[in-house]
Structure 1
């Protein structure tokens, strides 16, 4: 399941950048550092709960509160989105070709190398 809006993306960005799971108060403080207008505690708690329900955050007890942390890395999440998008078409070859045409040359080289390693059975580095 994807991110529903800018606040969900902002929450995930903060949690991906954090050294570990955060309580809602900690999350709120970090979000409000860059927010155009201050967010309310209940708003951030609701968004964190929604993301936990979607499976994007894990919720662990911490005293009377909870800590929230990502269930997957940003890279894993983005790769999952890309794979989900690929399944939307019956012509995977055309989608992959169009994707390859649209990426920057340095990204194309990285993709080519990753595919070459996979095809040859080399371990990832």
Structure 2
């Protein structure tokens, strides 16, 4: 999965990840512009949405003469893809994983340890 490039792509994805349903460009625009210092143009948001479709991040479905946009995967799955992508860039996965485990906050390390224990024992990780 391609990564997000730029704050506007991230903002559009954040809106879509938080939305209870697929959104039209007009709905995306309203949410993005709510409280914005400099409002975005409709065409700008539409272009970004189409770029995200091309990257495989979101899907579009016809809705009358327009389209609705929704994320293909959740925020957590996207973060996992980024982390796994970074891990595969290095031959020594053990060193990278060790450094990562040493760098996270203690409560996150504990959660990671518990998830690894469940996985090692064959229990489902949620």
TM category (shorter chain) comes to over 0.9
Give the corresponding residue for 2:43. 42
Offset of 1:122 from its aligned partner?
0.8
Task: Provide structure 1 residue ranges, at least 5 long, that are not aligned to the other structure.
Answer: none
Q: How many residues align?
A: 125
- 2:100 pairs with 1:69: no
* Residues 67-117 of structure 1: CA deviation (Å, up to 9, x unaligned): 000000000000010000000101100100010011001100110011110
Give the corresponding residue for 2:22. 21
SS in 1 for 2:59: strand
TM-score normalised by length of structure 1: 0.98
SS in 1 for 2:80: helix
Superposed CA RMSD: 0.8
Offset of 1:34 from its aligned partner?
3.7
Task: Provide structure 2 residue ranges, at least 5 long, that are not aligned to the other structure.
Answer: none
